[in-house]
Amino acid sequence: MVVNWKALYVNSRAEKKVVAALREKQIEAYLPLKTELRQWSDRKKRVSVPLINGYVFVKTLPQQRDVVFTVNGVIQYVRYNGSDAIIREEEIDVLRAIELKGYYAEGHFGVDVKEGDAVAIKTGPFKGLEGKVVMTGNEHICYVAIRSIDYQLQIRLPKEVLEKTQ
């Protein structure tokens, strides 16, 4: 039996607690995190925060589907076309790569891209994903849409890893 990833809406700022509680119930849960430098009046500290606020990803067997609602902070499954949205394994892999690499991919060959160009990423952990380029100064930013949950991640990529698709 193939078990798919699904996305849960959870209370904001409760993502880590929800993941811990789901794992206690033997449910595979994933929360992509990023590290940010936060400043208080007396100190600065690096903290891990969710990459996508209010979302937790789970892999559940059909008979476990409703067990997630016994966890405080879970609101509902993300829905698409009347049923639970299925998150492709490749999309989870992208989130893991973003988390691991800190939004950066490597490459070596140049391409002439400009604002508004549709591109595919040809090397690095995001290889094969498609997006749209926006320029800010000398920096290229590629928007990569995770279609299953209709969410866009902004990934900074050097133009060398991009390839025009139009």
What DSSP string describes 115-161?
TT-EEEE-SSTTTT-EEEEEEETTEEEEEEEEGGGTEEEEEE--GGG
User: Do 83 and 23 sit in the same domain of this protein?
Assistant: yes
pLDDT of residue 138: 62
- Rounded average pLDDT over 155-161: 73
Cα distances (Å, whole numbers) of residue 101 to 77, 92, 165: 28, 14, 25
pLDDT in tens, 34-64: 888 888 899 999 888 898 889 999 999 988 8
Report yes or no: 139 and 156 within 8 Å, Cβ to Cβ. Answer: yes
Q: 0.85 exceeded by the pTM?
A: no
User: Do 133 and 83 sit in the same domain of this protein?
Assistant: no
* The total number of structural domains that make up the chain: 2
Name the pLDDT band for 105 (thresholds 50, 70, 90): very low
Name beta bridge partners: 140: 135
User: Do 15 and 66 sit in the same domain of this protein?
Assistant: yes
**3-class secondary structure per residue, 99-114:** HHHCCCCCCCCCCCCC
Is residue 149 domain-resident?
A: yes
Domain boundary at 66, 87, 108, which? 87
More confident residue, 94 or 23: 23
Would you state the structure tokens that stand for residue 138, as one six-digit string? Answer: 């000398």
Is residue 135 domain-resident?
A: yes
User: Do 32 and 79 sit in the same domain of this protein?
Assistant: yes
pLDDT of residue 146: 65
Three-state SS for 75? strand
CATH of the domain at 156: 2.30.30
Domain boundary at 70, 87, 104, which? 87
Is residue 124 domain-resident?
A: yes
Could you tell me which of 97, 84, 85 has the C-alpha nearest to residue 129? Answer: 97
Domain region containing 158: 118-164
